[in-house]
Amino acid sequence: MQTLTVGLGDRSYPIHIGKGLLAHAELIQMHVPRGRVAIVTNTTVAPLYLEKLKRALQNVAISSVNVILPDGEEYKNSETLNLIYDALLKNRCERTTPLIALGGGVIGDMTGYAAATYLRGVPFIQIPTTLLAQVDSSVGGKTGINHPLGKNMIGAFYQPRVVLADTDTLDTLPDNELAAGIAEVIKYGLIRDLPFLEWLEKNMNKLLSRDTEALQYAIARSCQNKAEVVAADERESGERALLNLGHTFGHAIESGMGYGNWLHGEGVAAGTIMASDLSQRMGWISAQDVNRIRMLFERAKLPVVAPDLGPDKYLELMGLDKKVEGGKMRFVLLKKIGHAVVQADVPMELLKKTLQVCCAVTVPGLQSTQRPTLGGG
Ligand code: NAD
Ligand code: GLY
């Protein structure tokens, strides 16, 4: 087991990464003062891992209330959030009852928000079971739900007490979900860790074939990057915004296509190609750089061509981005590979060109994984 720390003073917490950690409830025991927790999970993860977690908790004399939600990004909303509050109230969960998120980023974000708001705040524990959640969403305390008008628009910063990433849970993850997690892994290399990007270029096949050592390395290195950024800028007044490379475009894709039709990581992949194209148009990176980035996403079997929502729809959706300041869109762009910046003044003609070129257009000589269909969900 490897343990990293997110350094936030008296709210610092450990991230434990390793095989078989689900059975080690002693790692969370100290955060359960009254021997009772509420586990929030979903209909896919519950049959796979709920019993195992419950048994481990019972072994250290912890009982649980179990909340099993419908599965899917399309359920990351206020109605589903209410189901969590209903169960907590019906079962008389108290301020001393921690909420455990057992699942991917959707469960983690929703459970975290429920923990931030139920009884004005109860302890929160993350047990991420997707690669995306293990490398990104379970760390850093961003919690929330979607609004029909925009992705993750309602939420709170609320840090977990501990993160337990059991890499064995990745064995049951579908291939496309593994790839979606790799999109966020590539992000760290692009924004601040060139040696890691080079490692990914050498080891992508190992990650795709779920080589245990390679996965553990990628998870730990990603969490290390994220922990450093979060410790420096917990509430995203500066550097943390860089973690949103590709997300301004990606969130527009996700909500424009209907939540659940494009995976978050898929939107981030196609969105990162758009951000890279825009960075090239700004004169910062070369066409070869953009190609290098595209090839890495393609090797991870991620989409590199965005759906054609039309420039106006993109502009409308991106206008709702959380980074908008004084009505102005801000983009995370690449000054060079391994170094991202936040840029407010992006000429509209360059942005429109990116929207035209990157959407549903096959890149000559490269295999496209585009999905041209619109209007789902
Ligand atoms: P997800 O939570 O929808 O999980 C993907 C799918 O895998 C779901 O069907 C889930 O039930 C299933 N699943 C989970 N664990 C499994 C396992 N071990 N075996 C088999 N199936 C399993 O999606 P995700 O990619 O984990 O997370 C995406 C969400 O995370 C988005 O809502 C995004 O906005 C959010 N996010 C949040 C942050 C943050 O900092 N809070 C960062 C990145 C993404
Ligand atoms: N995934 C972006 C962040 O945590 O800030």
How much is the pTM?
Answer: 0.94
3-state SS string over the chain? CEEEEECCHHHCEEEEEECCHHHCCHHHHCCCCCCEEEEEEECCHHHHHHHHHHHHHHHCCCEEEEEEECCCHHHCCHHHHHHHHHHHHHCCCCCCCCEEEEECHHHHHHHHHHHHHHHHCCCEEEEECCHHHHHHHCCCCEEEEEECCEEEEEEEECCCCEEEEEHHHHHHCCHHHHHHHHHHHHHHHHHHCHHHHHHHHHHHHHHHCCCHHHHHHHHHHHHHHHHHHHHHCCCCCCHHHHHHCCHHHHHHHHHHHCCCCCCHHHHHHHHHHHHHHHHHHCCCCCHHHHHHHHHHHHHCCCCCCECCCCHHHHHHHHCCCCCCECCECCEEEEEECCEEEEECCCCHHHHHHHHHHHECCCCCCCCCCCCCCCCCC
The pLDDT, as a whole number, for residue 374 is 27
Counting ligand 2 atoms within 8 A of each CB, the residue from 134, 190, 240, 251 with the most, and so the one to mutate, is 240
pLDDT value for 324 = 81
What's the mean per-residue pLDDT of the chain? 93
Residues 305-319 have pLDDT tens digits of 999 998 999 999 998
* Ligand 1 atom closest to 180 (CA): 25
263 vs 363, which has greater pLDDT? 263
Q: What distance in angstroms lies between residue 103's CA and the mean position of ligand 1's atoms?
A: 7
Q: What is the pLDDT of residue 302?
A: 97
- Whether ligand 1 lies within 6 angstroms of the CB of 250 is answered as no
Q: Decide if pLDDT at 54 tops 80.
A: yes
Atom of ligand 1 nearest to the CA of 112: 41
Task: Pick the more confident residue, 366 or 33.
Answer: 33
* Residue 140: pLDDT band with limits 50, 70, 90: very high
The per-residue pLDDT for range 182-213, each reduced to its tens digit, is 999 999 999 999 999 999 999 999 999 999 99
Question: Which CATH code, of 3.40.190.10, 3.20.20.80, 3.40.50.740, 3.40.50.1970, is assigned to 2-172?
Answer: 3.40.50.1970
Q: What is the mean pLDDT of residues 273-285?
A: 97
Active site residues: 120, 142, 184, 226, 236, 240, 244, 247, 251, 264
pLDDT at 369: 41
| Domain locations in the chain as residue ranges | 2-172, 175-361
Q: Report the pLDDT averaged over residues 343-348.
A: 92
Pick the CATH number of 175-361 from 3.40.190.10, 3.10.450.50, 3.90.180.10, 1.20.1090.10: 1.20.1090.10
